[in-house]
Chain A
C-alpha cells in the first residue's frame, strides 16, 4: 500500500518568514495530493490540493509543488502569520479501486510573533 512520510515534525518560524513542509510517497500511481490544516482541538480542513498532471499550484500565500519523478511534494507558506500556527498534514490517494487517502504524520508549525 501507499506510504507517506512527512518532514519536519515540528517547525518554528518568525512571523513574515516562509515555511516549507515536505512529503514523499511510495506508490508511483498515486495521483492526488491534498494538504490539510488542523488547528488545536479542531477538525482537519483542506487548504490546497494538487493533481499529478500539474507541477505547481498557488493560492495566495500558499503553494504546493509536485515532483512525480522523485515522488515528493511540498507545501510552501509565504509571509507567515500567527494564525498559520497549526498542524499540517499531507496526503496521497492510493491507486486502484480503493482510492482512500493515506496521511503523513503531520507537522506542527509555530509562527512566532
Chain B
C-alpha cells in the first residue's frame, strides 16, 4: 500500500488566491482527518470524516476554509481567499473507524502564502 497520499507537497501562493489541498486515504480506511501544524499552535485537528461524512469541523478556523470528501478515496481542503497566517504544514491522516485504530499520516503539504 502506498500509504496516505497528499498533493501538492509544496505550495507557494499569493495572498487572496484560492488554494486546494488533496488527499487520498489508505484503501479500506473509513475515517479521514485534516490537521494543520505550526510552530505556534502545534498540531491542530481541522475536520474529520467518517464514511465520507463530516463529523466534526469545529477546528476549521473560519469560513475561508472548507473541506469535502466526495468519495471514499479522495478529500480536498480548500482555502479561499488565502492569507499569510494560513502558512503551515497541512497533514491528512486516515484510519479505520473506531477507538484505538492507528491514524496514518500523509507526508503533508507545506503551504506558504506570501
Contact = CB atoms under 8 A, between A and B. Distances in A.
Contact of A44 (B55, B91, B100): B91
B61 interface: no
A29 to B, nearest CB: 11
A43 B105 contact: yes
A110 to B, nearest CB: 17
Nearest to B6: A43
A105 B45 contact: no
B43 A103 contact: yes
A107 B91 CA distance: 19
B9 to A, nearest CB: 11
B99 to A, nearest CB: 5
A88 to B, nearest CB: 12
B1 to A, nearest CB: 15
Contacts of B108: 43
Contacts, number: 45
A36 B59 CA distance: 20
B103 A99 contact: no
30 contacts: A32-B99, A32-B100, A34-B102, A42-B107, A43-B105, A44-B43, A44-B91, A44-B105, A45-B105, A46-B102, A46-B103, A49-B102, A89-B43, A93-B99, A93-B100, A97-B55, A98-B55, A99-B98, A99-B99, A100-B33, A100-B48, A100-B55, A100-B56, A101-B33, A101-B45, A103-B42, A103-B43, A104-B42, A105-B42, A106-B43
Interface of B: 33, 42-43, 45, 48, 55-56, 91, 98-100, 102-103, 105-108
Given A43-B105, A101-B45, A103-B45, 19 more contacts: A32-B99, A34-B103, A43-B91, A43-B106, A44-B105, A46-B103, A49-B100, A49-B102, A51-B100, A93-B99, A97-B55, A98-B55, A99-B98, A99-B99, A100-B33, A100-B45, A103-B42, A104-B42, A105-B42
